A = this chain, B = another copy of it.
Amino acid sequence: MLPHDVIGMRRSFHSFPETAFLEYRTAALVAERLAELGYAVRVGPEVMSMDGVRGLPSKESHQQAQEAARAAGASPLWISRMPNGQTAVCGDLKRGDGPVIALRFDMDALPVQEIKDDTHLPSLKGFSSSCEGRMHACGHDGHTAIGLAVAARLASPETIWRGTLRLIFQPAEEGGRGAQPIVNHGLLDDVDIFLAAHLGCQLPSGTIALAADGFLWAEKWNVTFKGVAAHAAMCPEEGRNALLAAAISIPALYALPRDGQADTRINVGLLHAGRTRNVIADEATLEMELRSSTNDGLKRLTSGARRTLEGAALTQGATIDIDVYGTAISAISDTSITERLHHAVLATKGGEVIQTWPIGGGDDATFMMQRVQERGGQAGYCLIGADLTAPHHASAFDFDESALEKAVDILFSFVEKTQ
């Protein structure tokens, strides 16, 4: 059912986008293909720990997504091995002695409504999202397809690489929630060489950046203020105004001090409070994120933000609950990896090579890089240029599919050259 060419695979994934921790069809197709290719396949609890999973969808969502995946041709058997949103897949292929080489591919889509428009290739070619309100608007459909295409090339007996190849297909990269549970399970603990790649990121087609930089340390919080409702005209003094507490916190959050030692960012992007005009609001929720160019800067920022939220709640006699919904860390590619990658690129039909390029956001593959590096391995993150039709996460997003084959070549060559 899943085609074998990388563009075909990408289009299949594109047509059936699945959001974080609900990638049942995608993961089942990946597992099935890896098994066919001879990889030792582990899925679900064999590769990820529930410990550290944040923002898991509801039970109903899982049931609906599993049912839809089965209806869309995914193997019920594989799905049954991925309970509770444990949609990670890992394929190992051992070829004699040698290093453990891990490649990471992410599979999740976004809650974005895809445009319908003949200038949009997925519309024109008939592979646009079949799922209302969901879309592959960040290129993970391409990443997954690249992963399977690389898997096939490297499984060929004619290849010369030695060691253990580990292909990791990760759920829930959006929101920065899928990598940590895999790290927590220990899947990176014996990895010697790690590489992740991302398509696009404003890097033009035909260019490869050997490393990505500018990852920000970040925390994403969901904050709830709880107060006490009261009739706003008859007895306002009996209320504890959660809306007012939240409002007081917000300028104070943005006013957290700029940092002399780090670049910082703070944003409260969403606020819902109260129910009706005539009642002192008893609840407010806000969704915010805190970022910094250094871990210490982030610690100072989060510590200040906690104090600010607690203080604002206290002014109204309200209480707060802070749910750390997601985190991101920075990471730096090891020079040995970028050099190896440079050789690998030169061995392909090539393209323009640049040393480093800003990621312009984040990727929780950095948690994997950190684990590999802290255990003595070497890790890298590269960018594969691909012209875009619209920015990442936009509903008109699409990428130049010619980048897919180039990415497969480069990753294949990277493994082949790693002796």
Residues of A that sit less than 8 Å from B by CB: 216, 220, 232-239, 241, 243-244, 246-255, 257-261, 263-281, 284, 287-289, 291, 297, 300, 304, 307-308, 310-317, 360-361
Contacts and interface: CB of A to CB of B under 8 A. Distances in A.
B317 A314 contact: no
A258 B265 contact: yes
Nearest to A235: B260
A316 B209 CA distance: 38
Contact of A233 (B255, B287, B291, B308): B291
A234 B260 contact: yes
Contacts of A261: 235, 237
A201 to B, nearest CB: 12
A247 B234 contact: no
18 contacts: A216-B233, A234-B260, A234-B360, A237-B258, A237-B259, A237-B261, A237-B300, A243-B269, A243-B270, A243-B271, A244-B250, A244-B268, A247-B249, A251-B254, A267-B278, A269-B275, A269-B277, A271-B281
A66 B85 CA distance: 44
Contacts of A361: 233
A271 B270 contact: no
A287 B277 contact: yes
Given A237-B260, A243-B250, A291-B233, A270 B273 contact: yes
Nearest to A238: B260
A232 B277 contact: no
Given A237-B257, A277-B287, 10 more contacts: A237-B261, A247-B251, A248-B250, A248-B252, A251-B251, A251-B254, A269-B277, A270-B274, A270-B276, A277-B289
A289 B277 CA distance: 6
Nearest to A236: B257
A380 to B, nearest CB: 23
B258 A280 contact: no
B259 A270 contact: no
A168 to B, nearest CB: 25
A291 B257 CA distance: 14
Contacts of A264: 258
A267 B274 CA distance: 11
Given A274-B268, A275-B269, A277-B289, A251 B244 contact: yes
Nearest to A245: B311
A255 B266 CA distance: 10
B271 A267 contact: no
Interface centre among A252, A260, A278 (most CB of B within 10 A): A278
A280 B220 CA distance: 15
